[in-house]
Amino acid sequence: MDQRGFDGAERPDFWLAHVRAGVVLTVLACSSGVVYVATDTAVAERVTLTMLLFATMGATVGLLLLPLDVIVTSRRAAWFFYGWSGTASLAVTAGCYVEGQSRSPFSAFYFLILVYAATAYPPGAVLKVSVGILLLYGGLIVNDAAEPGGNLLVAGCLALTAWMCSVAARNQWDQFQEQVQLAREDELTGCLNQRGFQEAFTSEVERANRLRRPLALLLVDLDEFKAVNDARGHGMGDAVLRRVGDLLRQSVRDVDVVGRVGGDEFAALLVETSGREALDVADRLCRRARTLSGTVTTFSIGVAGLVPGDTVASLLDAADAALYDAKRAGRDRALLHQREW
């Protein structure tokens, strides 16, 4: 199951509100269905449809009894939302099957499911929900013995709505991703800010421990940076920080993570990299820093490689200890904390 886009840890309040809105929407839709069944004399299967509507309403309200705050922030959040949309689509199909096949007024509920998905789901998920609904409605058309052609107008409107919902989902998701990027990015250097780096750091440590793969952390401190600010002003200091950010990003791979974690402190996560391999990268950074255009800058770098059972805190402490040793040894150097797999 594709989990991308359903990471409730990003915005748990949003997903909780989305679930609650979905419950309210379902109750209102089912209530309107009950009124329709009770008042339209042409409806044949009143008891069956009423039971289906109340069962759907009760099951949906029952979702509020679940630990939703845990579910939407778990790795299986996608299972929950796909399951909900799929079950709702099947319930609508069952109602249509009992009452009029493809010509049933209950087919209007398909549109509600599509719009509900488009307001929050990522584009790929909206596409999956759309395809599922179109297949279900297509089955009703094929199965409609009373009218072999079925209601092709509804089918066409469903397809058009599905396309529009996919476009809307793409637009709102792009806007959300842009906001997330801005919230995680350091405006001055273009690197991740402290929050963004911490999130990536936590994720990479969990991944490396789970898969038993190497991971290395570099803590980079600009030597005597305060003197640059004092002697040449904050404008020059900002220019130095921008150049350092560019240098760090250019010196690592696309899969690695670079962040500014303090005023003149940077950090880099090197995935699939041992501590000794990371030390080679750090040594190259020190050499390149000495020739950085426009200023005389040197780095002190602490390097630490992940060991079994490491946490974010323990790996950070190890790199910080190595950084302290590098500064105490005279700066302008990289030192490795002796810990390996």
Residue pLDDT tens, the chain, 341 long: 444 556 655 677 888 889 999 999 999 999 999 999 889 877 778 899 999 999 999 999 999 999 988 888 777 888 889 999 999 999 999 999 888 788 888 999 999 999 999 988 888 889 999 999 999 998 888 887 666 555 778 888 989 999 998 898 888 888 877 777 767 888 888 899 998 899 899 989 999 998 999 999 999 999 888 777 767 777 888 888 899 999 999 999 999 999 999 888 999 999 999 999 999 999 999 999 888 765 668 999 999 999 988 999 999 999 999 999 999 999 999 999 976 54
* Cα dihedral sign, 190-193-198-203: negative
- DSSP-assigned beta bridge partners for residue 208: none
pLDDT at res. 45? 84
What pLDDT score does 5 carry?
56
Cβ proximity of 112 and 25 under 8 Å: yes
Which pLDDT does position 293 carry in this prediction? 62
- Tell me which amino acid residue 267 is: A
With residues binned 3-state (H G I as helix, E B as strand, rest as coil), the percentages for the chain, rounded to 5, are 65, 10, 25
Among positive and negative, which fits the CA dihedral 129, 131, 135, 138? Answer: positive
Domains of the chain from N-terminus onward: 12-184 (no CATH), 194-337 (3.30.70.270)
Integer angstrom CA distances of residue 36 from 47, 58, 150: 13, 18, 22
Quick one: pLDDT at residue 2? 45
